[in-house]
């Protein structure tokens, strides 16, 4: 009996991409699966759900975002989106539609595999449910709603706490502005990105060692924020 190999479905219409990703994924200990278009990708996911999906947004038959939305109806695992640098909105849409993360083309395989690991770990964490997250000397107790840094309590306003908790629960993934605003301020405020800027600034001032060079909460310009545990 061979060892367990997580199955990763790569959805892309470029055979060259499959060529090197197959080699890289195989070498990294995954079992690569291949789909060349949206329809076969959906079929593959429905037939036997893989551990994760790497999805190119530019597919010949169905728009990648549509594949994402359809897949999310029956697939809960991590989905990493491959997209072009010049399609900012597409990335945001994909994240809002339930993608776990994105990688811009062209990319090094190291980056893709790192994102893939974070996404898969986050799933494990969310399913297992460890309520205490530590990042350096910062300890976030999601159950008791308490934050300490080097043992000292950090006082956060309720909104600041909600914001931080939401980012932390993202587990290293990028969380879009829309997702944060909807969760923390409510659906009426999805466009009030300026709130977010102010609160993230306040939060950084309280939890970052050097707020001018934030390391815990990093900015994905125009897209959202990421909490680096």
Partner 1 sequence: MNAGEPRRPDPDALLAEAGKSGRGRLKVLLGMAPGVGKTYQMLQQARRQKAGGVDVAVGLVETHGRPETEALLAGLEVLPRKPIEYHDRTLLEFDLDGALARKPSLLLVDEYAHSNLAGSRHPKRWQDVEELIGAGIDVWTTINVQHLESLVDVVWKITGVRQRETVPDAALTRADDIEVVDITPAELRQRLADGKVYLPTTAQLASDNYFKTENLTALRELALRRAAQTVDQQLLGAMRRAGIEGHWAAGERILVLIGPDATATSLARAGRRLADTMDASWTVAHVERPNRPSPSAAGAAQLAEAIELAQQLGGATVSLTGDDLVGAVLDYAARNHVTQIVIGKPRGGRLREILGASLSSALIRRAGGVALHVVTDATTTGRERRVRTSPRRPDAWRGHVGAAVLVAAAGAVAGLVDRFARGADLAMIFLVSVFASGLAFGLWPAVTAAALAALTYNFFFLEPRLTFYIGHASDLFTFLVFFVVAMTTGWLTGRVRDQERSASRRASAVAALLAASHRLSGAAKQDEAASALVEQLAAATGGRAVVFLPRDGDIAASVASPEMPILTTIDMAAARWAWEKGELAGAGTGTLPNAEWIFHPLQSHRGRTGVAALEPTGLSPEDERFVQALIDQGAVALERAELAVAAVDAEALRRTDRLRAALLNSISHDLRTPLATVLGSVTTLIDYGPSLDPAVRADLLESIREEAERLSRYVGDLLDMTRLEGGALVTRKDWVDVRDVLRAALERIERRRRGRWLATDFPDELTMVPADAGLLEQALVNILENAVAYSGEGSTIEAAAYEDRGNVVISIEDEGRGIPTTELKHVFDKFRRMEEASDKVKGTGLGLAISKGFVEAMGGRIAAASPIHGGRGTRVLVSLPKAIATHDILL
Task: List residues binding partner 1 (CB under 8 A).
Answer: 13-14, 16-17, 19-21, 23-24, 26-28, 58, 60, 84, 86, 105-110
| Least distance in angstroms from the C-beta of 32 to partner 1 | 12
Minimum Å distance from CB 50 to partner 1? Answer: 20
Q: CB 127: neighbour CB atoms within 10 A?
A: 8
Least separation in angstroms between CB 10 and partner 1: 11
Give, for 166, the enclosing helix (H) or strand (E).
helix 158-169
C-alpha 19/C-alpha 11 separation (Å) is 12
* Smallest distance, partner 1 to C-beta of residue 91, A: 15
Q: How far is the CB of 118 from partner 1 (least distance, A)?
A: 17
Is the Cα torsion angle 96, 134, 112, 7 positive or negative in sign? negative
Tell me whether residue 104 or residue 220 sits nearer to partner 1 (CB atom). Answer: 104
Q: Of 73, 51, 53, whose CA–CA distance to 11 is shortest?
A: 53
Contact (Cβ atoms closer than 8 angstroms) between residue 167 and residue 158:
no
Q: Alpha-carbon distance 185 to 129, whole Å?
A: 25
Nearer Cβ to partner 1, position 2 or 213? 2
CB 142 within 8 A of CB 133: yes
Q: Which is nearer to partner 1, 74 or 107 (CB)?
A: 107
Task: Give whichever of 13 and 31 is closer to partner 1, judged by the CB atom.
Answer: 13
| Token pair for 216 | 């815990």
Give per-residue burial for 138-155: e unless 16+ CB within 10 Å, then b: bbbebeeeebebeeeebe
Closer CB to partner 1, residue 58 or residue 211?
Answer: 58
Rg (CA), the chain: 19
Closer of 22 and 159 to partner 1 (Cβ): 22
Shortest reach from residue 80's CB to partner 1, in Å: 14
Work out how close the CB of 62 gets to partner 1 at its nearest, in angstroms, rounded to a whole number: 16
Dmax (CA) for the chain in angstroms is 55
In DSSP terms, which residues pair with 133 in a beta bridge? 140
User: Which C-beta is closer to partner 1: that of 83 or that of 176?
Assistant: 83
């Amino acid at each position: 009996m061979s060892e367990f190999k997580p199955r990763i479905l790569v959805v892309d219409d470029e055979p060259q991409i499959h060529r090197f990703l197959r080699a890289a994924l195989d070498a990294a200990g995954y079992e690569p699966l291949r789909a060349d278009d949206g329809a076969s990708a959906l079929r593959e996911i429905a037939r036997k759900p893989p551990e994760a999906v790497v999805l190119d947004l530019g597919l010949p038959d169905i728009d990648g975002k549509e594949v994402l939305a359809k897949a999310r109806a029956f697939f809960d695992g991590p989905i990493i989106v491959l997209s072009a640098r010049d399609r900012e909105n597409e990335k945001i849409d994909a994240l809002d539609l339930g993608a776990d993360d994105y990688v811009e083309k062209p990319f090094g395989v190291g980056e893709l595999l790192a994102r893939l690991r974070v996404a898969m770990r986050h799933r494990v964490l969310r399913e297992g449910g460890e309520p205490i997250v530590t990042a350096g000397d910062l300890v976030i107790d999601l159950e008791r709603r308490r934050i300490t840094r080097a043992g000292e309590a950090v006082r956060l306003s309720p909104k600041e706490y909600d914001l931080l908790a939401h980012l932390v629960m993202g587990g290293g993934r990028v969380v879009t502005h829309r997702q944060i605003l909807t969760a923390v301020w409510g659906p009426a405020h999805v466009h009030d990105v300026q709130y977010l800027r102010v609160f993230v600034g306040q939060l950084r001032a309280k939890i970052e060692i050097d707020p001018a060079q934030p390391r815990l909460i990093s900015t994905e310009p125009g897209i959202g924020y990421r909490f680096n545990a």
